[in-house]
Amino acid sequence: MLGKKKLMVGGLSALVVGALLTGCPPKKEAVKTSAVGVDAASKVYVPPGKQDEFYVFFSGGFNGQVTVYGAPSGRILKVIKVFSVDPETGYGFTPETRPMLMTSHGFLPWDDTHHPWLSQTNGEHDGRWLFINANNTPRIARIDLTTFETTEIIEIPNVAGNHPSPYGTENTEYVVSGSRFSVPVPQRDVPIESYKENFKGVISFIKANEPGKMDVAFQILMPGFNYDLARCGRGPSHGWCFFTSYNTEQAHTLLEVNASKNDKDFIAAVNWKRAEECVAQGKAKEMPATYYHNYYDEKKHMAVSEVKKSVKVLDPKECPGVAYFLPTPKSPHGVDVSDDGEYIVGGGKLATVIPIHSFSKMLKAIEQKAFEKEIDGIPVLKYDAVLHCELEKPCLGPLHTEFDGKGFGYTSCFVSSEVVKFDYKGCKVVDRVPTYYSVGHLLIPGGDTKKPYGKYLIAMNKITKDRQLPVGPELLQSAQLYDISGEKMQLIHEFFTIGEPHYAQAIPADKIKDKVKKIYPLAENEHPYAVKAEKDARVERKGNEVHVYMTMIRSHFVPDNIEGVRVGDTVYFHLTNLEQDWDIPHGFAVKGSEDAEILVMPGQTKTLVWKPKAPGVYPFYCTDFCSALHQEMQGYIRVSPAGSNVPLKYYTGTPPTAQK
Amino acid sequence: MNILSRGLLALASLLLILTYFFPLWKIELIAPQYPEGLRMFIWVNKITGGTEFDLYNINLLNHYIGMKPIEPEAIPELKIMPFIVGFLIAFGLLSSLLGKRVLLYAWVITFTLLGIAGLADFYRWGYEYGHNLDPNAPIKIPGLAYQPPLIGTKQLLNMLASSYPDMGGYIMGLSLALGFVAIILDIRLSGGLRMEVKPA
């Protein structure tokens, strides 16, 4: 995505060039206010007690999260922590969840999430999982849509800036990853100036269709360009994935200028079925690489990390037919495949046209060897041989396209702050509508599937000046909802988002809501420190470790009085929530804790680690308002000086039992 | 007993077999916090919840008012009732087979008395649970008992408690009603007690 600084320059030129393109200069009023009809409110109003029609999953950008909204109301439903720690639930703090954030670089509690992708079956959303990339330290996470929790994270080796990710294939066979920043592969100490000889791009296919079994199936060694976005084919183009690239100039400094020189960059078309064949024939090399695979077991309520030591890497020179380049004008960002699987729309950030490639023409060109040249074993197809058409003068800064299932594409235009609707077969613009301001990605529910729900379009805007009450130098980003059911797009709603959402995916609520878990069955809890009945609650000392096996239920802890802990001990509060009722989590916090509090869901076990530093009696309490007697849900833990011989004892409401 | 009454009695007895497969009674609690309701079903031999966890949750809520936990395995009636129903089935079928009028009367009277005894017992349990509260309960409202209605709906604090027969109960009622119909038919058709009805 373009930076904000760059945009300010772009914004100026937009006024000038935009006027040239559209014929008349935009009126100040038209820019400042939105043309929302009086009936707009009724179209997005979801009365109290009624539920939204769609779930929308926004990436959280630099906050490493995913935010879930309802549409059309624009109401926030949940913030899912993925690559960030959460002081509310203890995600990333508890021993059960810390392994989720382990990488070959150590424990990383932050990342940059860009592109959520909903799992598909037969090219349609199936409502099982949401995948999301970590851009900075390349990872891909799986979010389980029965719990709306992160359950799996895999690190991607040999890649830097995991930007074209995690777009997937039509049966979720794979989700993909690519290098935004080409780097030496394998990593080594070389002069940056040796970019052209030493730096490589890598495209990865990650096996995704089985929970807990994500794996880097194979990687393809690509020329050292910047790979930007991706989209996998469907229907006729199933078996292929497409990746945009820029910096085909292979610049390594001042890319703003040096990577904007070529008239055409490339869309890489990767035939993953061909890659599978080559891998099966043993043409991929095992390359040493260290990377983590982390998986949260919902029955053990515990994450585990496994360290992987090698990865299969395929060189296109040894696997002819695995990849081709489609020349595409000026630094393309989006590469989007129409719902019928035939048209591939590129979004050249600096281009004055939107190029639309034809998949069938591409196959024909490959058959006829209509090649311009070859780069590192990858044939470059002739532009004219693969092009369906160029959409003339669409807008400035076309970025990303979604489809409505009725023969129209919708492209976001960053520089001119608008969305254009076009007939992609007939190659003509049919409607345009302003956004406020500087739209990045846009979304149509199911707009990347075989069957889009062409009812709404949501534009994700980078700039919200004058759109809301100011809250200091940093403003939120906005989401604008358009009704696209008619011939003309109509702005009907605007709401504000957390982080900087880069992309979002939406799915009809019916495909998820009835599958959502209400509780974790206590009988299935296999956490090694779980206690499933109050009579089993206890405290055990193991050297300097004190393990408290504690239960929580409305409205008490067992035990709620603990003595015999000493300064220098590490206290593990293993808490099991005995509730089996929806929406009765209990929280736990103890004074002076350096870790977060924890929020334990019904039937779940979580651990809070506490290292008391001074003698005294410390209260602990339930942090989540659980019942009428929530304020009474509390207890004390007594800490004695190091070396003292206060006996270990614990109780709740009954006379104390002395322990050895 | 005429053939019709014998048939009806046999049908009434056989219908009772169904009561092993359907709950007799349903108690439902609805509150602002439980819009979906908590349900308890009483069968001839067990008590179940509307969901796997409803009984657990009802007991969890009851602890606030000091009500004893509902433990189906501690209720002796649930062990006896299957035999009582079994006895009624066997008794009815046998009576139908033998065709003696007195047996039909005996069956209906026994059934009626057992039904009344059952309801009385059910009332007694409700009374026990509702009145015999733990004096240390966190929530104590002077003068308030938590006895659910025998049949009907009643507001108990935040809970709207309703108690009605369920499928098995209606089947039982139908079975007894068939018994009465068998008696009426028997009276009518035998002519023994026929009354002349003159037009006014």
Per-residue pLDDT tens digits for B23-72? 999 999 999 999 999 999 999 999 999 999 999 999 999 999 999 999 99
Size of interface A-B (CB pairs under 8 A): 19
Per-residue pLDDT tens digits for A454-463? 999 999 999 9
Q: In 3D, which of A303, A298, A294 has the Cα closest to residue A519?
A: A298
> Rounded CA gap, A270 and A285, in Å?
18
DSSP string across B92-151: HHHHHHHT-HHHHHHHHHHHHHHHHHHHHHHHHHHHHHHH---TT-S---TT---PPPSS
Nearest CA in chain B to A555: B64
CA distances from A577 to A520, A522, A641 (A): 10, 8, 31
Question: Is the pLDDT assigned to residue A359 strictly greater than 50?
Answer: yes
The band of A11, judged by pLDDT with boundaries at 50, 70 and 90, is: very low
Q: By the CB < 8 Å criterion, does A524 face chain B?
A: no
Question: Is the pLDDT assigned to residue A24 strictly greater than 80?
Answer: no
Q: By the CB < 8 Å criterion, does A471 face chain B?
A: no
- Answer for the pair A409, A338: CB distance below 8 angstroms, yes or no: yes
B60: which chain A residues are within 8 Å (Cβ-Cβ)?
Answer: 553-554, 579, 581
CA distances from A84 to A108, A620, B80 (A): 8, 26, 59
Q: By the CB < 8 Å criterion, does B141 face chain A?
A: no
Q: Which of B53, B60, B139 sits opposite A554 (nearest CB)?
A: B60
Task: Extract the tokens encoding A47.
Answer: 């009365």
B138: which chain A residues are within 8 Å (Cβ-Cβ)?
Answer: 555, 629, 632
> Rounded CA gap, A80 and A65, in Å?
6
Asked if A629 lies within 8 A of B53 by C-beta distance, the reply is no
Work out the average pLDDT over A52-70: 97
Question: Is the pLDDT assigned to residue A425 strictly greater than 50?
Answer: yes
Looking at per-residue pLDDT, the higher value among A11 and A421 belongs to: A421
Work out the average pLDDT over B101-120: 94
- Answer for the pair A244, A211: CB distance below 8 angstroms, yes or no: no
Q: By the CB < 8 Å criterion, does B60 face chain A?
A: yes
pLDDT at B55: 94
Asked if B57 lies within 8 A of A519 by C-beta distance, the reply is no
pLDDT at B118: 94
Per-residue pLDDT tens digits for B75-90? 999 999 999 999 999 9
Work out the average pLDDT over A465-489: 93
Q: By the CB < 8 Å criterion, does A552 face chain B?
A: no
Task: Extract the tokens encoding A101.
Answer: 């954030």
pLDDT at A8: 42
pLDDT-above-90 percentage for chain A: 89
**Which residues contact residue B109 at a Cβ distance below 8 angstroms, ignoring those fewer than 6 apart?**
none
Q: By the CB < 8 Å criterion, does A652 face chain B?
A: no
Task: Extract the tokens encoding B115.
Answer: 């039904």
The band of A243, judged by pLDDT with boundaries at 50, 70 and 90, is: very high
Work out the average pLDDT over A31-55: 82
The band of A301, judged by pLDDT with boundaries at 50, 70 and 90, is: very high
Average pLDDT, chain A: 93
> Rounded CA gap, A249 and A255, in Å?
9
Phi-psi region of A393 (alpha: psi -120 to 50; beta: other; left: phi over 0): left
Nearest CA in chain A to B138: A629
Q: By the CB < 8 Å criterion, does B53 face chain A?
A: yes
The band of A22, judged by pLDDT with boundaries at 50, 70 and 90, is: very low
Q: Which of A555, A580, A632 sits opposite B57 (nearest CB)?
A: A580
Per-residue pLDDT tens digits for A613-649? 999 999 999 999 998 899 999 999 999 999 999 999 9
With tokens 């994935």, the residue in question is: A241
Ranges of H-type helices in A177-263: 195-198, 255-258
Q: By the CB < 8 Å criterion, does B56 face chain A?
A: yes
The nearest CA of chain A is from the CA of B21 a distance in Å of 26
Work out the average pLDDT over A44-55: 95
pLDDT at A148: 98
Q: By the CB < 8 Å criterion, does B158 face chain A?
A: no
Task: Extract the tokens encoding A412.
Answer: 């976001």
pLDDT at A235: 96
Average pLDDT, chain B: 91
Per-residue pLDDT tens digits for A478-487? 999 999 999 9
The band of A39, judged by pLDDT with boundaries at 50, 70 and 90, is: confident
With tokens 């009835």, the residue in question is: A514
pLDDT at B197: 52
**pTM of the predicted structure, to 2 decimals:** 0.91
Q: In 3D, which of A39, A2, A4 has the Cα closest to residue A491?
A: A39
Q: Which of A521, A553, A632 sits opposite B60 (nearest CB)?
A: A553
Asked if B64 lies within 8 A of A580 by C-beta distance, the reply is no
End-to-end, the C-alpha distance of chain A in Å comes to 63
3-class secondary-structure state, position B71: coil
The nearest CA of chain A is from the CA of B10 a distance in Å of 45
pLDDT at A26: 47
pLDDT at B110: 96
Work out the average pLDDT over A244-272: 95
pLDDT at A14: 44
Asked if A628 lies within 8 A of B139 by C-beta distance, the reply is yes
Q: By the CB < 8 Å criterion, does B17 face chain A?
A: no
pLDDT at A25: 45
Buried/exposed A82-115: b ≥16 CB within 10 Å, e otherwise:
bbbbbeebbbbbbbbbbbbbbbeeeebbebbbbb
> Rounded CA gap, A635 and A652, in Å?
9
| Full strand arrangement of the beta sheet holding A353-358 | A332-337, A343-348, A353-358, A387-392
Per-residue pLDDT tens digits for A167-204? 999 999 999 999 999 999 999 999 999 999 999 999 99
With tokens 């954030």, the residue in question is: A101
Asked if B64 lies within 8 A of A579 by C-beta distance, the reply is no
In this structure, is the dihedral angle defined by the CA atoms of residues B89, B90, B93 and B96, taken in order, positive or negative? negative
Q: What is the ipTM of this complex?
A: 0.85
B56: which chain A residues are within 8 Å (Cβ-Cβ)?
Answer: 580
Question: Is the pLDDT assigned to residue B192 strictly greater than 90?
Answer: no
**Which residues contact residue B200 at a Cβ distance below 8 angstroms, ignoring those fewer than 6 apart?**
none
pLDDT at B198: 54
Q: By the CB < 8 Å criterion, does A581 face chain B?
A: yes
Q: By the CB < 8 Å criterion, does A553 face chain B?
A: yes
Q: By the CB < 8 Å criterion, does B83 face chain A?
A: no
Question: Is the pLDDT assigned to residue A544 strictly greater than 90?
Answer: yes
Question: Is the pLDDT assigned to residue A400 strictly greater than 60?
Answer: yes
Strands A323-329 and B159-165: unpaired
pLDDT at A33: 53
Q: Which of B57, B60, B138 sits opposite A629 (nearest CB)?
A: B138
pLDDT at A515: 96
B64: which chain A residues are within 8 Å (Cβ-Cβ)?
Answer: 554, 628-629
